[in-house]
Structure 1
Amino acid sequence: MAVDSDADEPSVEEEWAAAPPASNWRPPRAGATLAVLIVAVGCWLLADALGSLDALSIAAVGAAGFAGVIWLATRERFTPVWTLASVVVAPFSGVLLVAGLGYVGVAQFAGFAPQGAVFVGLGVALAAFGAAAIPGDAVDRGSVTTAARSSSVGVLLLVVVAGGLVGNTVRKEEELEPLSALPLPEELPSLFPETALTPPLGTVLLIGSLSLLALRAALTALPIAELLDDRSDDDEIALRLFERLLAALNAAQIGVVVGIVLLGARRLLGSAWTELWGRLPPVAADLLGLFATAEVVRRLSLRLIAVSVAVVVAVKLLRRLHRSGVRRYLSRVAPLVGGGAALAVGWVAHETILNVVLGRLEATLPASVASTVLEQAGTVIDYYSGEVVAVGLIALGGVAAVITLGLLRLGMAFRVVPGRHTGHALAAAGLLVTGGFAAAVGAPLLPALGAVVGAVVVWDLGGFGVDLGRDVGRRAPSLAVQFVRALTAALIGGVTVAAALAATSRTPSVSLAAETAAVLALFAAIGVAVLASLALAR
């Protein structure tokens, strides 16, 4: 009995159904979670040791928001919606980043934080951005370029509107008249001038004829003829009536010509036009005057023009969108809508925004300085209004976001920042900077060096996770090999740092001061990185 050999083979549809999605070919979740946890714990311990945990937490949230902006801007499904969301998030992330680093700078200036704490804040921000980018692994040259481009459009709208609001406030407060030097009339001329002798017949006839032509254009733009043409007798009669209606409306061209002639004659003849009007028969003059002065004719003509033009524009836009694709045009409009949404949030929630900012300033500054700063801030808010100040802060945050994304893309162009799989590299670099500068400004040596060793683990585990995700994917069981990799990197880093500390402590001429420990930590981290890359790449 013959056996069908193809019966047990999976079909093409089954192979496609069983194939893992594109998200499978990314770093495994266990390694990514461990790397994020190392960054979070290391930065938290050092920030708490320096007494700047609240401010650095704000900066870290803002920096992590930039990773979210890049991730949102590169979503393939429902692209316009995600682009809009990324543009809305970008200025607020910029506000948080600038505010967090600004609070650290103010605390350092006031003596509440050690000198050099700002550099620790920069390291924390860099580490937070990298850690947030590790799970999705979405930060590369293309994604950063896309996010920077869309954010620039939305931020440009914010800056223009904020600048206009500030300029308008200054104009009102200073009673400036920027157009006073221009020879402008006191009042604009009326579209329908009223005189006792000659009504504006030419103007009314011209506007009315144009409204009929606009109505014809709207009826032609709508698919009325296509709906009536289905080859039945009743619809054939309706189609003929529709064509006759269009022909009758097209005759309004004569009214346009006559209206222009009458309007020109009235302007050129002046008083002679009044004499000619007086020679008309009383019945004709009354009828023409009634038509020219009828308010209903004027309102109906203007509204008919407005509605017809709107219909023509809408129909042409819809047809063009249908031919070229709606998604393409929505993606272009989404950044502007996102900028408008961020503007609306700042305008509506201005009280909450200002209360949070001023409250943090009051808590950060000493009492003697805080009173002066808050008094000046209150003066600015009273002058410009809370809405304008809040919108201005969001616009500044948007500018900071665009600058940050631009610097990131510039670093990729000059190969200072990796162009692909950027998250773990920046997280490790940020943790390394945080540990080194924290030790330099007086943080305990043990957590500082622990952060340095953690940076090496994050760097090596991140690179290994990228290779692992590309080769076997997230679904493959790889927890054991990731654990061995992380443990080996930690052991090599710990041994290297311990050896460096032992060698330094045994040298009589060298005292292990905080500055020396910081420099030692940096050099030890570099040595650990080299050793780990050589030992673990085998």
Structure 2
Amino acid sequence: MMDEHADAERDRSRTDWAPTRASTAVAILGTAGGAAALSSAAGVAKGAAVAVTGAVCLAAALWLLTFERWRAPATFAASLLLVPAGAGVAVGVGYESLVAVAASFPAPSPTRVSGEMLRIVGAMAVLWGCTVGAFGAAASAREVATFRSVSRCLGVVTRVAVLPVGFFLALAGHALVTNLELGVAGALGGLVSTATDWLLAPEPGRLHVLAFALLLAAASYASFRALRGLPTRELAGEASVGDVRVADALAELRRNLGRFAAVTAMAVPPAFLAEVALPAEMLRDALPGAVYDLLAGLTAAPGLRTLLWWVALVSGTLAVVAALVRRSSRTSAQDLLVGYAPFAAGLAVVAGVRAVHRPVLDALVGFVVGRLEPPLSEQFGNLSENVVAFYGPETVVLGLTAGVLVLAATVIFALSVSFVLGFVSDRAAGPALAGGGLFLAAAFAGTLDAPLWVVLGGSVLALVAWDAGSFATKLGAEVGRRAETRRVELLHVLAALSLGGVAAIAAGGLARVVPTGPGSGAEFGGLSVALLASVAGTVLLVMALR
């Protein structure tokens, strides 16, 4: 109750404030400008544009999940947005990875392999840094990136992915069973037939204690759960049979079934040991002939086993339905719609894949083949044709969609872990992600022969975006959303830019002064020295601003 009260108080407090507009605009524009410059300098501008679009969709999904009114349609829309969010990141990163590999390999010489691999890693780091920075900047507009919203988004994306992943596994499994000429279908059919015979039609004239005990325990426990979940007392009312009330008789039956289910469950381990460890002849010799024949006939009776099977199945179904109805009766209609909205979105995704899978697959294969050089393009074309012929185009596209949702879930999970570990906090999480992502991109851009002014400018913009966004959050929480704060915000931003400019000039000057080359006693290039100096300058900038 205390946690729910604290959450409610936090929600009410968040409606009374918002990050101030001027500083938030500076953080967003600074992040956008820095990401554009760094991605262009690193040669990943196209992939960054697509991945950033996905990051903005993710931020929009988090924003929709904060709605208190129209929660059901907002949750449904957020669930659908998670598909382009994951697809944008996957396509952007995949495209640039494909381009980088095609441009770097085959390497001119074996000694260049490690260098080309490092170049690819640097390009991917710049791309991910720009993507994280864009997400943080978009989330800072309304400060929607909180641990609560991220945790809720993780639950939503998990429920959205259930149906696409389930249908994909079913279709892929069907393709494997029907297309592999390894006797898989026969083996599976034989396995199912053996299990069915063991459970429902065993060999007569022998003891089959384990399967009978399992069926008896399942039937008694399912009946107990059904009687416990169904409104038997309300349905029976005051009806009676003789001097016994029907409701009291059903309650006593429920209690006895519970006790009987516990006893039969405890009998399963001894039955397993008796059937596995003891030979059948030993059991026959240990028991009197009449007792053994009675037990053998009872435990091997197909009619009795079938009856227990259907009792377990029907009672279990009734217990599940009763639990769902009872839960629904205690939950408001809006909460039910909100809970089922992600599943409806997952069903819509499956239906959309079924409708447009062929043109989507042709476009993807054609795009990848067009970016590869021979003979890789021919090998990929042949491989894709074989995979599509084996699994079918719908299964392939559904698998890609399921993978996109899994990627989105992974990204959101990593974001929630960053909250748990304390890397970001509820207050100013967006600016922290914006500044951290942009600084990561600037740091690795320095390893890709990016221009000196781009690296230094990206470092300064990273700190300015973080400081301006944090200041917007703090000032908005203190004075509210309607106070006039533009002059104070502009002065704060000008001070940050001035100190950042001084740090950048100092770093550039140091890069020109420090000697380089074999005779200098160090192998540092000018750009590397400038990058280290820019890091020191930004640290001093933080100390001065704080």
Q: 1:458 to 1:505 in 2, by over 3 A?
A: same
Partner of 2:27: 35
Q: Which is further off, 80-89 or 513-522?
A: 513-522
Q: 1:182 to 1:410 in 2, by over 3 A?
A: closer
Once residues 474 and 70 of structure 2 are traced to their aligned partners in structure 1, the CA distance between those partners, rounded to angstroms, is: 30
Q: Is the Cα contact below 8 Å between 1:432 and 1:525 reproduced in 2?
A: no
- Number of residues paired by the alignment? 403
Partner of 2:415: 408
Q: 1:358 to 1:132 in 2, by over 3 A?
A: farther
Partner of 1:535: 544
Q: 1:514 to 1:136 in 2, by over 3 A?
A: farther
Q: Is the Cα contact below 8 Å between 2:507 and 2:534 reproduced in 1?
A: yes
Residue among 484, 495, 498 paired with 1:491 = 498
Partner of 1:458: 465
Q: 1:444 to 1:374 in 2, by over 3 A?
A: farther
Residue 86 of structure 1, CA deviation:
2.1
From the CA coordinates, give the structure whose radius of gyration is larger: 1
Question: Are 2:390 and 1:378 equivalent residues in the alignment?
Answer: no
Residue among 414, 417, 421 paired with 2:428 = 421
- Counterpart residue type for residue 410 of structure 1: V
Question: Are 2:530 and 1:520 equivalent residues in the alignment?
Answer: yes
Q: Which runs of 4+ in 1 moved over 3 A?
A: 20-24, 112-115, 180-185, 313-324, 509-516, 530-537
Once residues 328 and 461 of structure 1 are traced to their aligned partners in structure 2, the CA distance between those partners, rounded to angstroms, is: 38
Partner of 1:482: 489
Once residues 317 and 183 of structure 1 are traced to their aligned partners in structure 2, the CA distance between those partners, rounded to angstroms, is: 33
Once residues 536 and 481 of structure 2 are traced to their aligned partners in structure 1, the CA distance between those partners, rounded to angstroms, is: 30
Q: Which is further off, 316-325 or 496-505?
A: 316-325
- Counterpart residue type for residue 73 of structure 2: V
Residue 24 of structure 1, CA deviation:
5.9
Partner of 1:198: none
Residue among 372, 391, 400 paired with 1:393 = 400
Partner of 2:345: 338
Once residues 124 and 466 of structure 1 are traced to their aligned partners in structure 2, the CA distance between those partners, rounded to angstroms, is: 22
Residue among 68, 87, 97 paired with 1:95 = 87
1:503-529 Cα offsets, whole Å, 9 max, x none, are 33222347899965256335524532x
1:279-321 Cα offsets, whole Å, 9 max, x none, are xxxxxxxxxxxxxxxxxxxxxxxxxxxxxxxxxx999988975
| TM-score calculated relative to the size of structure 2 | 0.66
Partner of 1:179: 189
Q: Is the Cα contact below 8 Å between 2:503 and 2:541 reproduced in 1?
A: no
Q: 1:58 to 1:474 in 2, by over 3 A?
A: same
Q: Is the Cα contact below 8 Å between 2:516 and 2:526 reproduced in 1?
A: no
SS at match of 2:189: coil
Partner of 1:135: 141
1:53-97 Cα offsets, whole Å, 9 max, x none, are 212211222222222222222321122222222222223322221
Question: Are 2:57 and 1:65 equivalent residues in the alignment?
Answer: yes
RMSD across aligned positions (CA): 3.6
Q: 1:320 to 1:502 in 2, by over 3 A?
A: closer
Q: Which is further off, 505-514 or 314-323?
A: 314-323
Residue among 341, 351, 357 paired with 2:358 = 351
Once residues 543 and 75 of structure 2 are traced to their aligned partners in structure 1, the CA distance between those partners, rounded to angstroms, is: 41
Residue 367 of structure 1, CA deviation:
4.3
Q: 1:503 to 1:314 in 2, by over 3 A?
A: closer
Q: Which is further off, 336-345 or 420-429?
A: 336-345
Residue 363 of structure 1, CA deviation:
4.0
Residue among 161, 169, 179 paired with 2:175 = 169
Residue 495 of structure 1, CA deviation:
0.4
Once residues 32 and 483 of structure 2 are traced to their aligned partners in structure 1, the CA distance between those partners, rounded to angstroms, is: 27
Partner of 1:109: 101
Partner of 1:120: 126
Residue 492 of structure 1, CA deviation:
0.4
SS at match of 2:427: coil
| TM-score calculated relative to the size of structure 1 | 0.67
Q: Is the Cα contact below 8 Å between 2:160 and 2:343 reproduced in 1?
A: yes
Q: Is the Cα contact below 8 Å between 1:86 and 1:151 reproduced in 2?
A: no
- Counterpart residue type for residue 394 of structure 2: E
Once residues 500 and 445 of structure 1 are traced to their aligned partners in structure 2, the CA distance between those partners, rounded to angstroms, is: 10
Once residues 486 and 332 of structure 1 are traced to their aligned partners in structure 2, the CA distance between those partners, rounded to angstroms, is: 43
- Counterpart residue type for residue 75 of structure 2: T
Once residues 470 and 384 of structure 2 are traced to their aligned partners in structure 1, the CA distance between those partners, rounded to angstroms, is: 47
Q: Is the Cα contact below 8 Å between 2:427 and 2:473 reproduced in 1?
A: no
Once residues 460 and 351 of structure 1 are traced to their aligned partners in structure 2, the CA distance between those partners, rounded to angstroms, is: 48
- Counterpart residue type for residue 521 of structure 1: L
Partner of 2:221: none
Q: 1:377 to 1:88 in 2, by over 3 A?
A: same
Question: Are 2:46 and 1:54 equivalent residues in the alignment?
Answer: yes
Q: Is the Cα contact below 8 Å between 1:141 and 1:420 reproduced in 2?
A: no
SS at match of 1:137: coil
Once residues 347 and 64 of structure 1 are traced to their aligned partners in structure 2, the CA distance between those partners, rounded to angstroms, is: 27
1:24-68 Cα offsets, whole Å, 9 max, x none, are 611122322222122112211222233322122112222222222
Q: 1:487 to 1:338 in 2, by over 3 A?
A: same
Q: 1:399 to 1:514 in 2, by over 3 A?
A: farther
Q: Is the Cα contact below 8 Å between 2:143 and 2:429 reproduced in 1?
A: yes
Q: Is the Cα contact below 8 Å between 1:80 and 1:334 reproduced in 2?
A: yes
Residue 23 of structure 1, CA deviation:
5.1
Q: 1:336 to 1:515 in 2, by over 3 A?
A: farther
Once residues 425 and 527 of structure 2 are traced to their aligned partners in structure 1, the CA distance between those partners, rounded to angstroms, is: 29
Structure 1: stretches of 5+ with no match in the other structure:
1-19, 186-220, 222-312
Residue 475 of structure 1, CA deviation:
2.5
Q: Is the Cα contact below 8 Å between 1:440 and 1:515 reproduced in 2?
A: no
SS at match of 1:179: helix
Once residues 514 and 485 of structure 1 are traced to their aligned partners in structure 2, the CA distance between those partners, rounded to angstroms, is: 36
Q: Is the Cα contact below 8 Å between 1:497 and 1:525 reproduced in 2?
A: no
Q: Which is further off, 501-510 or 49-58?
A: 501-510
Once residues 140 and 178 of structure 2 are traced to their aligned partners in structure 1, the CA distance between those partners, rounded to angstroms, is: 50
Q: Which is further off, 148-157 or 322-331?
A: 322-331
- Counterpart residue type for residue 106 of structure 1: L
